[in-house]
Amino acid sequence: MQRVIVVFIACLIQFQGYSKQAFKKIPVSKDIELIQVSENAYVHVSWANFENFGRVPCNGLVYIQNREAFLFDTPATDSMTKELVNYLRDSLKLEIKGFVPNHWHSDCMGGLGYLQSQKIESYASQKTIKLAKSNHLPVPAHGFKDSLQLRLGDKLINCYYFGPAHSLDNIVVWIPSEKILFAGCMVKSMASEDLGNTADGDLVAYPKTIELVLKRFGNARIVIPGHGDSGGTELIRHTLEIVEKHKLP
């Protein structure tokens, strides 16, 4: 019994330590902050104004290995992206090796033009590339169809397209060493009561896509939505519940 108590206390201390680390916030500017979610990963949160939605916090991810980093999603503008990149370079002393957007909207790749000016390689779904071209936006350099595996140091970064949901091209990024799923706007925070902007999405396909994500990443430790607080796989299940309520007849 004593051994059980000791193990429980040790686990509790470890959990508390992780919690403090997980929610460490670093201000970058008045519109950007970093939230550390693991030893090697930060959520970057930027605030931007969107028509019909007002001022909205938008999430992205910075994954780090040995002073090198991959960036997933940018803030909504080149100027905010420049602020974020300058902080990562100057304050955290990181070299940004690549960029992957979740989908084609500005809260995912609105800063791609600036990244391209800095000669940072970009990778995206072929569907995102097609939509970027048709909307006269900066175009990611490298495309993939269903999946893409990248490396940062000796660690893997896996990108997957499971189908339409929030947008026709939305992907997810899985970092197996961290058990972090950057799900983007297809997954909603626990505070969300609806699906938000689905003007460019597919409500018919949405449930199947979310079910595939949940089935594949049921062991995720951290799930990062496009907007709002990160959590665990309860975010994916919560999203599925919202989708089911919004099913078309």
Is the pLDDT at 2 greater than 60, yes or no? no
Residue of 22, 51, 18, 54 whose CA lies nearest to 37: 22
Is a pLDDT exceeding 50 seen at residue 12? no
| 76 within 8 A of 17, measured Cβ to Cβ | no
Domains of the chain: 25-245 (3.60.15.10)
Catalytic residue selected from 166, 169, 170, 238:
166
Average pLDDT score, the chain: 91
- The residue annotated as part of the active site, out of 105, 159, 170, 238, is 105
- Beta bridge partner(s), residue 64: 69
Task: Determine the pLDDT at residue 54.
Answer: 77
Higher pLDDT, 27 or 54: 27
- Is 185 assigned a catalytic role? yes
Q: Model-level pTM?
A: 0.89
Question: Could you report the per-residue pLDDT of 134-187, keeping only the tens digit for each?
Answer: 999 999 999 999 999 999 999 999 999 999 999 999 999 999 999 999 999 999
What tens digit of pLDDT does each residue of 178-203 get?
A: 999 999 999 999 999 999 999 999 99
Which tokens sit at 225?
């939505």
Whether 35 has a pLDDT exceeding 50, the answer reads yes
